[in-house]
Structure 1
């Protein structure tokens, strides 16, 4: 059983459930949620996370996810936290990576083999299902 911790920020309820179910089934990891950036920053200051998934635009208020990435990466106490943007838009991914995030993924690519490989490597989690290589 993995002890990795994942925080998902700004997803709508449907997408949050999809992400949480995927991480539970594939990696045996529970995903904690934060609806807003204030909640996410509070959570990051009070607990350790191995990965933060940031929606391109928060469902709660439409705030750009890159704003949270920028804030986390500029905070010396949080700058080492790995972040990924959840977006299928290449330009959004490029901006997030430029700010210090890891290359993320779009929601439709969550189960893609290349995403699985990156997540397994990052989280030290084994994929619990058989996947083709």
Structure 2
């Protein structure tokens, strides 16, 4: 049975790249969410094996780290592992401080470490 992934706030090109990367390494079903409300609704109804959140949501440029905090504080959402999608280590560290697991950067899809980082959740 495929693992379920929720991809949040990616622009169209990044979403395509991320989907290609994930499906080439893992058996996954990927759902998309563009903004906070959509994300929270999906997390209320579905349990995900991994939630990948862009640092800046493409649709409204809201902050992905703030969204992680809201998800972690939400008592009515199913708690799933959360990862930030960002190339910048300082933002990855901020995301970990608010309860995410260390995430991936969109420039790192060719790096074998990236698939290895996702393996515990999607393998």
Bucket of the pairwise TM-score, normalised by the shorter protein? over 0.9
Matched, 1:10 2:3: no
SS of structure 2 residue aligned to 1:107: coil
2: CA distance between counterparts of 1:39 and 1:27?
A: 25
Count of aligned pairs between the two proteins? 123
1: CA distance between counterparts of 2:47 and 2:79?
A: 11
Does the Cα contact within 8 Å between 1:20 and 1:30 map onto a contact in 2? no
- 1:39 match: 38
Cα shift at 1:104: 0.5
- 2:65 match: 66
Could you tell me the TM-score, scaled by structure 2's length? 0.93
Structure 2 unaligned regions, length at least 5? none
- Give the ranges of 4+ consecutive aligned residues of structure 1 lying more than 6 Å apart after TM superposition: none
Cα shift at 1:79: 6.8
Structure 1 unaligned regions, length at least 5? 126-133
SS of structure 2 residue aligned to 1:14: helix
Task: Quote the RMSD (CA, aligned, Å).
Answer: 1.3
Does the Cα contact within 8 Å between 2:68 and 2:98 map onto a contact in 1? yes
- 2:102 match: 103
Which of the two has greater strand per residue? 2
Cα shift at 1:96: 0.3
Matched, 1:76 2:75: yes
- 2:121 match: 122
> Larger Rg: 1 or 2?
1
SS of structure 2 residue aligned to 1:103: strand
